Amino acid sequence: MKTLPLGRAFTLIEPGPLVLVTTNDGRKDNVMTISWTMVTGFSASFAITTGPWNHSYAALQETRECVIAVPTVDMIDIAIGVGTCSGRDTDKFDKFGLTPVKARHVRAPLISQCLANIECRVVDIIDRHSIVMLEGIAAYFDSSRKEKRTIHAVGDGTFIVDGRRLDRKDMMRDKLPGGL
Amino acid sequence: MKTLPLGRAFTLIEPGPLVLVTTNDGRKDNVMTISWTMVTGFSASFAITTGPWNHSYAALQETRECVIAVPTVDMIDIAIGVGTCSGRDTDKFDKFGLTPVKARHVRAPLISQCLANIECRVVDIIDRHSIVMLEGIAAYFDSSRKEKRTIHAVGDGTFIVDGRRLDRKDMMRDKLPGGL
């Protein structure tokens, strides 16, 4: 997994992939599946919707750290499995064969199997909307991975796989931040 | 365009499509392209990131109403065109051949050409993060439309088109809200 310039991290989340969010509460690693995410700025700012109904939320609140990991289509059943059991009674890394990798700045682990990982700090929690604001502080991308297609939850139990990619860089030139 | 039950509206936004957001400031219609969106609840709650840098923002702030319209891949150049000029000096409905359709509850128009439309009220504005919270109050879906593939902005000037759809309803059964 190679370092990805932080200025590119938002491009991992902007297309709306299903993501895994890892935490470590000081005793053990945990991971949850999140589909409700949003980019809020080019300098690696993100919002996710979560709350006390997720076991990971307590760790997120206390440690104010997490990792956003981006799985690909070959990991769909792992992502759904992670999202349909709880860290309360399950060691999800063990159950789903996920390999935790030590992060650089946070105690929450990167996930070795994922296409990309973003180390994040919690910068704000907007309780009334169950929104947690994150700032990306380091990003990684596994360019050696063959399968790079991510998945998009529809919310009704179906998932859309990435199809082909259209290039409109010329039309967008004036709107893109430097370096993209 | 047929009415879509409001309880299904979140499934239009959860996969992360590029959307058009219409407003009407009391004098004229306007429309902007937004990629930074998030579902925040099953009962049609959404967040979008926008601010004074978008001409539409003033109308959104004053009228506290908008329509989220979902374009498909055949509309990609329209969506990019809408996103790279300003309502300040351009009648975008006219310029891009978009047909405004009277909404039921809000003054902002639906877009006839789009796959789906969601009438929304602004329920909160979180200034410090440039997040506008929306409540969907009516939704429409054009099931007669042949092209139903939406597009996902990557943020670097490329766009991912919807690929195939995987069904995991059986695995997800316990997590889905009623009626899905």
- Asked if B156 and A10 count as a contact pair (C-beta separation under 8 A), the reply is no
For A28, A30, A36, A50, A85, the CA distances from A88, given in Å and listed in that order, are 11, 9, 21, 16, 9
pLDDT bucket at A174, cuts 50 / 70 / 90: confident
Q: Which of A166, A167, A170 to mutate to test binding with chain B, by most B CBs within 10 Å of its CB?
A: A166
ipTM of the complex: 0.96
Contact A76/B172, CB-based, under 8 Å? Answer: no
For A88, B74, B107, B120, the CA distances from A32, given in Å and listed in that order, are 11, 35, 40, 30
Dist CA A143 CA B10 (whole Å): 33
Q: How many helices (H) and strands (E) does chain B have?
A: 5, 12
Residues B32-78 have pLDDT tens digits of: 999 999 999 999 999 999 999 999 999 999 999 999 999 999 999 99
Contact B175/A39, CB-based, under 8 Å? Answer: no
pLDDT over 80 at A14, yes or no: yes
pLDDT mean over A64-91:
97
Which A positions 83-122 lie with beta carbon below 8 A of chain B?
A: 83-84
